[in-house]
Amino acid sequence: MPSTSICLFFSDTGGGHRSAALAISQGLADLSEQIEEGVERPEILCENIVEKSHPLNRYFVDMYNFLLRHCQAGMKYYYWAIENFKPNDSQVGYRLARPYLFELLDELDADVIVSIHPMSNHYLAKALTEMGRKDKTKLVTVVTDPNGDFWRGWACPDVDLTLVPNDLGRDRLLYWGIEPEKIKVTGMPVHPDFLKPSVCPPADFKKHLGLDPVNKKTICINAGWAGGGNMLPIYKALEAVASEIQVVFICGHNIALYERIKKESVLSPIPTAVLPFHDRMADLMSAVDLMVTKAGGLTTFESVARRLPMAIDVITPPMPQEEGTVNLLCNNKLAKPVKKPEDIVTIVKELDRKRLDLPDVCSLNRVDAVYDISTAILELAGYKMQPELHKLIQFNSGQI
């Protein structure tokens, strides 16, 4: 067994937390290759623990995803309930999850635990304290909301280090009483695949989907992990510019939406490739000219890493923790809001098919932040990183 183990914990509330965990896991793996010879590499484990901790928590996760898929307007009430009742800091909730956490933490015997979900930080900190493991196991939080209007659960004074995307997050944590020395600004944990040249060339990617490889503007309509939002009316509105465009429609984990869009695409004048959840989004983002998406932090920042213009669905008001993301991206000319379906027509007509220049405000240009995050985790685990090799990876992977 390796002498050092690093565990990344998250929950499948939407797809962003898993994406972040996989990004950090790959960043850790990349940097582990640079650890000096003779030093054992760490073992890295990813696990969605919130929904496994107790049936009640499984219910809350399922409810979140149901609302995300079928009733986004109801998300503000879910957010209000979480912020006011604070289940992440509930003694009753902790007691329900405690047996699972004790067994898990004892079995894994981790040197570093990385929490990538606001509902797990406090329970993990309490369990480590009660088990007498605070000296043995370091606890890190990686915040995945790229603005200051995020869940209060991200702020846990008992973690050893909280990594935030930008100064907006840092200021909010300071306001909530987190000690400055326990906060580090790193950027968003975008998977290294989004920093590297595409595996499948853009023209070939489109050709494989039966689309024009060169001549038409290619629009990706992304319904997200859960397959929600107002993407169908936006798609129908695009018929006004059907002669100029072609569409890749990503339906996420929503079979009903997938079947519906397949039928709609047959009747539509727009050449359309309809896909379920797609695991090569880095290649897809290199092949399209515009990403139509909801305001999820990871999807939007994967687009930023690809320097891909965005149109963000705000027909249904964004969830409170995502509204700041919309403002951040739109104010810095990386995205435009879609307030009604017809807005997409003007956005497409004005699209020049050029990649974006990234501003240096709010760490928007720190697209390789996953390596800074991974370095901080490895150093907390006791590894001495070699800065020149770290920079070499960042430089090479930063070429699109």
- 130 with 226, same domain: the answer is no
- Order of strands, sheet of 310-313, starting from the edge strand that comes earlier in the sequence: 272-275, 245-250, 217-222, 290-293, 310-313, 335-338
Which of 246, 225, 224, 243 is CA-nearest to residue 235? 246
Banded pLDDT at 314 (limits 50, 70, 90): very high
Banded pLDDT at 397 (limits 50, 70, 90): very low
Banded pLDDT at 77 (limits 50, 70, 90): confident
Q: Is the pLDDT of residue 272 over 60?
A: yes
- 250 with 301, same domain: the answer is yes
* CB-based contact 286:276 (threshold 8 Å): no
- 383 with 288, same domain: the answer is no
**Segments of 77-206 assigned E as strands:** 112-115, 138-142, 161-164, 183-185
Q: Is the pLDDT of residue 188 over 80?
A: yes
- 354 with 371, same domain: the answer is no
Number of CB atoms found within 10 A of residue 1's CB: 7
Banded pLDDT at 69 (limits 50, 70, 90): confident
- 355 with 373, same domain: the answer is no
Give the phi and the psi of residue 270 in degrees, each rounded to 5: -90, 125
Banded pLDDT at 173 (limits 50, 70, 90): very high
Q: Helices marked H in the chain — which ranges?
A: 16-32, 55-70, 75-85, 91-108, 121-130, 167-175, 202-208, 231-237, 255-267, 281-287, 297-305, 320-331, 343-349, 369-380, 387-397
Amino acid letter for position 341: P
- 256 with 219, same domain: the answer is yes
Q: Is the pLDDT of residue 81 over 90?
A: no
* pLDDT at position 95: 94
Residue 246 vs residue 36, higher pLDDT: 246
- 182 with 206, same domain: the answer is no
Which of 225, 265, 269 is CA-nearest to residue 249? 265
Rounded-to-integer distance, Cα 393 and Cα 398, Å: 8
Banded pLDDT at 334 (limits 50, 70, 90): very high
* pLDDT at position 68: 80
Q: Which tokens belong to 93?
A: 């909730």
Q: Is the pLDDT of residue 75 over 80?
A: no
Q: Under the phi-then-psi rule, with left for phi > 0, alpha for psi from -120 to 50, and beta for the rest, what region is 341?
A: alpha
Task: Name the pTM for this structure.
Answer: 0.92
Rounded-to-integer distance, Cα 341 and Cα 347, Å: 11
Which of 167, 321, 298 is CA-nearest to residue 310? 298
* pLDDT at position 3: 77
Q: Is the pLDDT of residue 37 over 80?
A: no
- 332 with 378, same domain: the answer is no
Q: Is the pLDDT of residue 84 over 80?
A: no
Domain count, the chain: 2
% of the chain at pLDDT higher than 70: 96
Banded pLDDT at 393 (limits 50, 70, 90): low
Banded pLDDT at 255 (limits 50, 70, 90): very high
CA-to-CA separations, 249 to 198, 283, 290, 293, 319, in angstroms, rounded: 19, 15, 12, 11, 23
Which of 166, 161, 121 is CA-nearest to residue 17? 121
Number of CB atoms found within 10 A of residue 241's CB: 18
Which of 336, 330, 318 is CA-nearest to residue 68? 318
291-296: average pLDDT: 92
Q: Which tokens belong to 11?
A: 């929950």
- 313 with 221, same domain: the answer is yes
The DSSP H or E segment spanning 291 is strand 290-293
Rounded-to-integer distance, Cα 166 and Cα 24, Å: 17
Locus of tokens 């959840």: 277
Rounded-to-integer distance, Cα 286 and Cα 307, Å: 9
Locus of tokens 């909280």: 162
The helix/strand/coil state of 48 is strand
Q: Is the pLDDT of residue 337 over 60?
A: yes
Residue 72 vs residue 229, higher pLDDT: 229
Number of CB atoms found within 10 A of residue 51's CB: 19
Banded pLDDT at 78 (limits 50, 70, 90): confident
Q: Give the chain's count of helices (H) and strands (E).
A: 15, 12
Q: Is the pLDDT of residue 288 over 50?
A: yes
- 155 with 259, same domain: the answer is no
Banded pLDDT at 387 (limits 50, 70, 90): low
* pLDDT at position 395: 44
Kindly report the CA angle at 201 between 200 and 207, in degrees rounded to 5? Answer: 90
Give the phi and the psi of residue 157 in degrees, each rounded to 5: -70, -15
- 80 with 184, same domain: the answer is yes
Rounded-to-integer distance, Cα 151 and Cα 119, Å: 9
Q: Is the pLDDT of residue 271 over 60?
A: yes
385-398: average pLDDT: 53
- 186 with 204, same domain: the answer is no
* CB-based contact 105:128 (threshold 8 Å): yes
383-400: average pLDDT: 56
Q: Which domain holds residue 37?
A: 5-190+367-397
**How confident is the prediction for the chain on average, in pLDDT?**
91
Rounded-to-integer distance, Cα 190 and Cα 300, Å: 10
CATH number of the domain bearing residue 111: 3.40.50.2000
Distance of CA 208 to the CA centre of its chain: 27
Pairing between strand 290-293 and 217-222? parallel
Rounded-to-integer distance, Cα 103 and Cα 6, Å: 17
* pLDDT at position 398: 40
For 78, half-sphere exposure in the C-beta direction (CA atoms, 13 angstrom radius) is 20
